[in-house]
Amino acid sequence: MSDLSDRVYELVKSSGGKMTYPQIYEVLGYEDRQRLPNAIRENKRSGKLQQRVDFDPVTGQNTHNVSVVK
């Protein structure tokens, strides 16, 4: 696990276990943003985070969520 992977995991965990991708993106600096997909993939592979695109039929909008699994 890279430092950024651990940082992203701790960020999501400390935010109540769930954040949207744009929220995480906004927190990071330019270079870390470019590495964010890989950081999420590393956490997915280790079973620590999952990501879901949630569609709300009422609003018709998608939300790209990242949440803690364990």
* Distances, alpha carbon 54 to alpha carbons 22, 26, 62, in Å: 14, 20, 5
> Does 61 sit near other proteins (CB under 8 A)?
yes
Closer residue to other proteins (CB): 6 or 67: 67
* H or E segment and range at residue 58: none
Per-residue binding letters, 8-27, with other proteins (x by CB under 8 A): -------------xx--x--
Least distance (Å) between residue 8 CB and other proteins: 12
Q: What burial class does residue 34 get, using C-beta atoms within 10 Å of its C-beta: 0-12 exposed, 13-18 middle, 19+ buried?
A: exposed
Q: Which residues sit at the interface with other proteins, rule CB under 8 A?
A: 21-22, 25, 33-37, 50-55, 57, 60-62, 64
